[in-house]
Structure 1
C-alpha cells in the first residue's frame, strides 16, 4: 500500500502549520481510499501563502483542526509507504502535528522527486508543475492539496509503470 499525500501550509518555517491535506491510499494498481480536508491551522495565514494557494483565514476558520482529522490521516497512512513530491516536507509537517498530540508518527518514505530523477532522467526540472508538464499530466487546482495529490497519484502510477530498475518497493515490509 502507498499513501500519496499532499499538504498546504502557512509557510515553511518552524512555527508553520498545515492548512489543507489530501491523502490517496493506493494499492499499486488504483486508489482504494481517499481523504481531503481544509485544516484550521490556529495561526494566521500570511498573504503570500493566500496568493499562492488561494487558502485564506476565512476559509479555514470553521475547518477542523489537525487533532480532529488525525484519525483519518493515521488510518490512511498506516502500513503504507508515505509517498509525496518532496516527501520530507509533507512528512515533516505531519510528524510535527502528531508530535504536538504526543504521538510518535513514523512511516517509510518514497519521494516522487527522487524517483522521477532516476526513472525519468534528463528532464530540465523535477518540480511538480514542470514534471507534470513534461509527462503530460494535467494538474487541476495547482497549489491545493487535492489537486497536487491527484497529480502526484498520476505521476506515481507512471513511475510504477516505468520502474524497470525496481526502485519502488512493491510490498510493505
Structure 2
C-alpha cells in the first residue's frame, strides 16, 4: 500500500485553527518519511484544546502560518493520493478550513478513515478511539495527541488491517475529497 497518514491538532474549535500537523508517508507497506510542523494559527487558543495536546500560544509564536506549511505538504494531496486519518472527517475538515480561510484552492484526493475501517473490521472493540485501537492491536502510541505520534499510529493501524484483511474491504470505504 502507498498512502499518507495525517493528523492535525487545533488551537480551538475553529476549523482553521490548526496549531500542528504531521504526515507519515507509506510506500510499499513501509513508513519511508515523516513530516511535522507547529503552525501559528490566526485564532486564540482554547484552554480545553491546550489541555488535550499541550501546545500553548508561546510554543507557536515563531512557527509558520498555514500557507507556508501548505507549500511543503501540498504535493501529498493529488488526485490519486490516498490520505488516511483516524477520524478523517475532523482532519480533512481542518485542512479544508485552513485552505478556505487563506483562500487556497481545495485539492482533490482520496481519503480513508481508520475509525471507519476499525469499526468495520473490529466490531468487538469497546470503542474505536485511537488509543483503544492501538492498545488492542499492540501498536505503540506513547504520546497520544502529538500529531506525529498519532499519524504514525494511524499508518500502523491501516498497515495492520491490510495485512490481516487485504485491501478489498478497505477500498470500499475510500472517499473522494
Same fold (TM over 0.5): yes
Match of 2:147 in 1: 145
Whether 1:131 aligns to 2:133 is yes
d(CA) in 2 for partners of 1:69, 1:61: 15
Whether 1:2 aligns to 2:6 is no
TM superposition score normalised by structure 2:
0.87
Task: List gaps (5 residues or longer) in structure 1.
Answer: none
Match of 1:167 in 2: 169
Whether 1:115 aligns to 2:117 is yes
- SS of structure 2 residue aligned to 1:150: helix
- Seen in structure 2, the aligned counterparts of structure 1 residues 28 and 91 have a Cα distance that, compared at 3 Å, is farther
1:133-170 deviations in whole A, cap 9, x for unaligned?
Answer: 1112121221110111111111111111122471224x
Task: List gaps (5 residues or longer) in structure 2.
Answer: none
d(CA) in 2 for partners of 1:33, 1:75: 14
Q: Residue 33 of structure 1 contacts residue 76 of structure 1 at CA under 8 Å; is this kept in 2?
A: no
TM-align CA RMSD: 1.8
d(CA) in 1 for partners of 2:48, 2:28: 36
TM superposition score normalised by structure 1:
0.89
Match of 1:66 in 2: 66
d(CA) in 2 for partners of 1:165, 1:42: 40
d(CA) in 1 for partners of 2:39, 2:103: 15
Match of 1:106 in 2: 108
Match of 2:24 in 1: 24
Q: Larger deviation: 109-118 or 160-169? A: 160-169
After TM superposition, list the pairs within 5 Å mapping 1:31-50 onto structure 2: 31-50=31-50
- SS of structure 1 residue aligned to 2:169: coil
